[in-house]
Structures are given as structure tokens and as C-alpha cells.
Amino acid sequence: MYLIQDSGDLNTSYEIFVTMVKQGRPGLCITRENPAKIRSKYNITKTPIVWLTKAKGSECPSVDPAELFKLHPTIDNFIKKVDDGIVLIDSLEYLILENDLRSVIKFMEQTNDSIMASDSRLILQIDPLIFDTKDHHLLKRWMRSLTEEDNYNV
């Protein structure tokens, strides 16, 4: 699992994700952003995107952020079906607003277990300023920092 610590600019995580997808890796994006905007901006028309939203009737797959229990099976199913996949989660802060922090950390631990047992990778973008020191450490202890300067061969 790779961690991008940023105070709000999602461009870094998307640029790394899109580069890897365009290199041929299967990708899964879990986002708070409107999927139509992401597809248009980054030209990733075939990449599955799960929209974290309370809005009903969306044309694309969506999950209510309060239904955290639905996300791990989605990620696990994806990584079991692909070789050398890449998963991007850009909305951890939104999940924390709708769930207690410990549940979100447990979700990330469960996801980490699945990622480690596969040949796929996960990129997580967070704003470190929203966590206290202990919770930030709990969240990032199994992750490696990733920056735009990395060669995207993660």
C-alpha cells in the first residue's frame, strides 16, 4: 500500500494512478468526486469507478459512505480478478465523516491484508492534518510514502 500525504490536491494521486492504468495495469478508483468528471479529465473511460455518495439514482456504481462494509468486498473482488492491478482511494476523510475512525482504520487494515496477498497495489491519498498523531500512525504504519517524483513503477 502506498500513501500520498497531501492537504487537498488530488492531482498527484490521480496522475500516478492514470499513468499506471495507461501503462496497462487494471485500475479501480474509489472516489468522492463525480466519476463523469474524472473520466473526462483523465481520459480513463474503461476504468471502473465507485462513487462514494448519498445521491440515489447514479448511473455509475455507487456506495453510500456510511456503508463502509461494502467497500472491502468490492476491492477484494477486483484484485482477485486482475493481475497487477492498482486501486486508488481518494476519499478516506469522507469515510471518516460518515463512520467512526476506528472502523475506517480496521477497513484499511482488512484491505491491506487483501492487497498483501495479491500482486496488486493500493494508493491512498489523505490529508494528515485531519488525524491526531496516534491515529495517523495507526493508519500509515503498513504504507510506504509515494510522491510525484517516484517513477510510477510501484
* Per-residue pLDDT tens over the stretch 82-102: 999 999 998 888 898 899 888
Res. 142: pLDDT tops 60: yes
Q: DSSP for 4-40?
A: EE-SS-THHHHHHHHHHHHTT--EEEEESS-HHHHHH
What is the pTM assigned to this prediction? 0.84
Nearest to 50 by CA among 75, 24, 19, 85: 75
> Comparing 2-11, 35-44, 126-135, which segment has the lowest mean pLDDT?
2-11
User: 11: pLDDT confidence band, cut at 50, 70 and 90?
Assistant: confident
- For residue 141, what pLDDT is reported? 65
Indicate the Cα dihedral angle 128, 131, 135, 136, nearest 10°: 10
Using one digit for the tens of pLDDT, what is the confidence trace for 21-70? 999 999 999 999 999 999 999 999 999 999 999 887 767 889 999 999 99
User: How far, in whole angstroms, is CA 92 from its chain's centroid?
Assistant: 8
C-alpha 33/C-alpha 80 separation (Å) is 25
- For residue 56, what pLDDT is reported? 77
Q: Which three cell numbers stand for residue 33?
A: 468526486
Res. 5: pLDDT tops 90: no
